Each structure stands twice: as structure tokens, then as C-alpha cells.
Amino acid sequence: MTVGALHGRALAQAAACAGILFLSAATSMAGEADVEAVDIRPEAGGTYRFDVTVAHGDEGWDHYADRWEVLDEDGTVLATRVLAHPHVDEQPFTRSLSGVAVPEGVTHVVVRVRDSVHGHGGGEVRLALPDR
């Protein structure tokens, strides 16, 4: 085999491998879920209402944003909003949770979202609590 033929064969093999890698990546395009926005409002009784906007390329039941959480700055989960189904045709989407109790002395919270494939790891939001 000539050097040119070997080079051509190597390029063809590389292209075939790249195609396989591309197809593999295409099967899970959604990536991690991100928190895009958070609105916090004090409620009666010292609790808070959280309106959280989530962005994720939900693909169906096998890969979707399945919950978001409110944490204190030490990482303790204060509240969880379960997302009961995929939002394939509704992106980004906003869901609310009322009655979130935040312990005295906590001044900031972190809101993170999780998806059914990657878990946590996308964009989080850290923000100050409004006055009660």
C-alpha cells in the first residue's frame, strides 16, 4: 500500500470515528439543567414563595429537569419542588413553591436544578432573601 493510500485510509477511519462520536453526542443533546431566574416573595407566617425559571433541553421521560431545590449557604436543602413531567415544548418554564420555611439567620439562598441524567451541575443562582 502506498503512503497516499495509507493516509487516505487513516482519514476515512478518523471520519468514521468522528461520525460515531457525533451520533453518540446527538443522542443526549440536552446537557445539564440551568436556573435562569428566581423571584422570591415573603409570605404571611414568615415563609417565602419561590418562582423559579428553568432551562433544559428536555427530551422526554428519559432525560428531563425533574426537580429544583432551595439550599442555605451551607448546602442544607430547605425545600424541593418536584417537576412531575418533561417540558419538551415549554422552554424555559417557571414553576412555583410556596410555604418555604427559611431558618432565622439565613440571609442568602442558592437555587439549583437537577435533571434525570446528569443530576445537579448546571447553572445555579445565589441571592439574598428579601426582608420578611
**CA neighbor of 32 nearest in space, from 91, 130, 120:** 120
| Length of the chain counted residue by residue | 132
Domain boundaries, the chain: 1-29, 34-128
- Which set of grid coordinates corresponds to residue 125? 443562582
What pLDDT shows up at residue 30? 62
pLDDT at 90: 82
Q: What is d(CA 50, CA 30) in angstroms, rounded to the nearest whole number?
A: 25
- Residue 37 C-alpha cell reads as 431566574
Residue 48: is its pLDDT beyond 70? yes
Model pTM score:
0.75
Cα distance between residue 45 and residue 43, in whole Å = 6
Residues 6+ apart with CB under 8 A from 84: none
Q: Which CATH number fits domain 34-128: 3.30.300.30, 2.60.40.730, 3.40.50.261, 3.40.50.2020?
A: 2.60.40.730
